[in-house]
Amino acid sequence: MKKADVVIIGAGPAGAVCAYLLKKAGVNCVVVDHAQFPRMKVCGGGLTHKAYTLLERLIPQFRYDYKPVKHIKLMMEHEERCEFEAAHEIRVVDRKTFDDALIKEYTKIGGEFVKDGFARYEKQENGVMIVTMKSGKQYECRYLVGADGANSQVRQQAIGNYTEKLLCMEQYVEEKAEAGITVSLSPHYPNGYYYYFPSMGHDVVGYGDIQMTAEKFHDVMREWNIPENKIKGAYIPLKEVLSGNDHVILIGDAGGFPNKITLEGLYYAFATGMNACKAIVQGVPFAEANKEIFKKKKREAFHAKMFYSRFGMSSIRLISSNTNFVKKCFDIGVER
């Protein structure tokens, strides 16, 4: 049996940030991921101002390629409502290379990264955790961090079935040199939206909502005259959860942290990775170390309910032609 202070399942942005900060703080940890890196992740790859400034603060030397995008267009039911230049660029990254470079910041400072799958954990009477991998390998540790994404197996063992998630599908389209981000809302898109995202080497069109099916995705692509291409899909969890055990910490998508309106998840992956490190180093419960994010999520749940209600959609229809107002809301949203 191997020993470590902390075992982190998942080397995505949440696990990588948490592992890097723990290693820097002198905590002995091991990161386990079942994928061979560099690995694919279905994602628009948009980093908002708050996401890249937080990342810069946490890992100042980290460099990555991105496409800066400032032009934003808002549509409602195929009707253009407003267009503007955002105060801060959105940095669109290719998740395959970005995630690989991020976990390398941890291995470069001597962090241990193992390819294996999580199978289960057990808490012994003396408080020690035994974590078993698919290979049969076992780790004895003080903390287990579940950073294993939207379909987290660590979360599954801690709290059972988790149904509060939204399916989002996307496909690549030819890269347009001057393309900006387009988002389209509609009362027919419950709790979701259609988007066009400029990306690196190709652009991306996607759609997700809480009643999403492959059929619905085809219908929406037809509505937008997008010729069919290879489609990829993934879940976005929409409700934050605690494991119920101070020594099992769920972060990033495993903890259900993505934004309930915009579906932005990268900022929350970095922030909860940072707070998991704080909880472990300071010996405080994660609920305490992450309390500002939990508060934010409570407010967000209320705002999301309003935003996607019939009343919300008709109010947005009324105010969305006011470019200055929409730009101000957008600029504040990407900063905080």
Ligand X SMILES: Cc1cc2nc3c(=O)[nH]c(=O)nc-3n(C[C@H](O)[C@H](O)[C@H](O)COP(=O)(O)OP(=O)(O)OC[C@H]3O[C@@H](n4cnc5c(N)ncnc54)[C@H](O)[C@@H]3O)c2cc1C
Binding stretches for ligand X (CB under 6 A): 9-15, 32-35, 39, 41-46, 117-118, 147-149, 153, 168, 170, 206, 234, 236, 252-254, 258, 263-266, 269
Least Å distance, CB 180 to ligand X, is 14
How far apart CA 20 and CA 25 sit, in angstroms, is 9
Least Å distance, CB 166 to ligand X, is 9
CA separation, residue 120 to residues 32, 49, 234, 242, 312 (Å): 13, 37, 23, 17, 43
Residue closer to ligand X by CB (options 116, 321) is 116
The answer for residues whose C-beta is within 8 angstroms of residue 266's C-beta and 6 or more apart is 13, 46, 47, 48, 51
Least Å distance, CB 64 to ligand X, is 14
Residue closer to ligand X by CB (options 231, 301) is 231
Residue closer to ligand X by CB (options 84, 197) is 197
Residue closer to ligand X by CB (options 38, 187) is 38
Least Å distance, CB 257 to ligand X, is 7
Tokens of 258: 């993505």
How far apart CA 154 and CA 148 sit, in angstroms, is 7
Residue closer to ligand X by CB (options 319, 329) is 329
Q: Per DSSP, what are the bridge partners of residue 198?
A: 203
Least Å distance, CB 234 to ligand X, is 4
Least Å distance, CB 81 to ligand X, is 21
The answer for residues whose C-beta is within 8 angstroms of residue 22's C-beta and 6 or more apart is 5, 6, 8, 29, 277, 280, 281
How far apart CA 60 and CA 255 sit, in angstroms, is 26
Peptide bond into 237 cis (omega under 30): no
Whose CB is nearest to ligand X? 265
> Among candidates 39, 43, 14, 12, which has minimal Cα distance to 199?
43
> Among candidates 167, 220, 175, which has minimal Cα distance to 194?
220
Residue closer to ligand X by CB (options 245, 321) is 245
